[in-house]
Structure 1
């Protein structure tokens, strides 16, 4: 503890840092800006969100950090980013972001000449969440069914013996243990997962249909290489969603339709927000190694030393 305190006060250079006075509110490194940026939010401690702007060409290494702003309020972030001179901001050609309206507003205001590319993985995550929502709904029904069967056995003075499928799972266990396999493509399933999936899809045809819609959406981004082909595939996917009649997937289709152009810009350079997610993962690992964030300003100072300076 003494060594850490001495390091912070003297050799680290923390007290002489030129951005110390506003570090907990915003940090800005205009010299790190490049033609391709990513904007995303991340939590430092206790769920408190900060907005990070990073240079994708630096690939989460030195000089990859452009700005950190406390909170997610678009007006505050715009005010900080507008401190960067117009020439540098207008030189930005592309910014990847998520589905957040505030992020779109920030990019539109601060980087007016940049193309906005909505990260395809956020759309895929919505589809995965819709499948899991259906699985969880059936799981609650299975728990209630098991409770009713136990109560009936108790009233009849019998021992309760739950029904088991050929792989040894009860109905509750089948739905609990199917969580991970529904996130993956069928070709990546293990032998046990294939057996479990076959039972699951036979017992719950609606989960099979939802999984098929999710997988089809994943394949649109994975296999199509040009925008026109993706547009045609998406039209076919819309038809499947309409036939299936799932509310969650109808919402996803509507979301896709509202952000159509910005999502399909992925096919211009096949860019995603993966670098921003990688940067978030590094920050979380750094925070875990330090056992949390005791001094927010000093934590941000060390982040800046790692990712903002050469």
Structure 2
């Protein structure tokens, strides 16, 4: 076969997390439950923010919840469908589309976490100018620029993959079309693709993490200047939820790629990827609702109103 002639007709076989038939019902049930929890939890956060909380921090939080729902929706539904139908084949077009949206929402996640860190930096280090600096226009602009950069990066990565030639019936040792695994299956030269992929990861991922670390270094130095221990605790507690989410997201991402680089096992990498693709978006609502009094109060109001409406409907 001449590489490239059948690229458009190529079909990719997603091996998933396990090839054992007896484990498929367990995997299906577990991932369906996690997907429902992720969607329900993040929807509650969005409702709570839109109903009662209108500060910049919660504006970014509601967008993070929306992106997390989209992030998991790019991979889990297709995975569940494959398990249910026992057909793990993905067409070339579907694979590229899934990869595009996965990269888009992954980068958006990083940008939103960075914007939330900047918000906390301004609130703690420049409290008197907070409302002036973090005005609605700036928040909207930051969000718009983030979407534009994420979309352009995702488009670039997809176009770079489109130039590659693939043979037919290729096996991907993953539960979704992960760009690195996809590139490794190309019949043509992939050097340029790897350069672009790692350069984008270094610039976007490294830049995002650097922005977060810089913001928190300034926050910590500002907290250290507070004389009372109670004041220090109260100030730091406003960052606790965000810091927990950042740690969970970046530690799992780094853990996945460092472990895969050490073991050279694609299957192990697929299992580890569950942490940042599924578990982290599911845990975010719990972290914010359990550690944030404003979110708790807003959720209580929503639940109370919903309970009253149900009682009136029953009566």
The TM-score normalised by the length of structure 1 is 0.28
- Between 1 and 2, higher relative CO (CA 8 Å, sep ≥ 6) is seen in 2
TM-score between both structures, scaled by the size of structure 2: 0.27
Higher share in helix: 2
User: Which structure has the highest strand share of the two?
Assistant: 1
Greater Cα radius of gyration, structure 1 or 2: 1
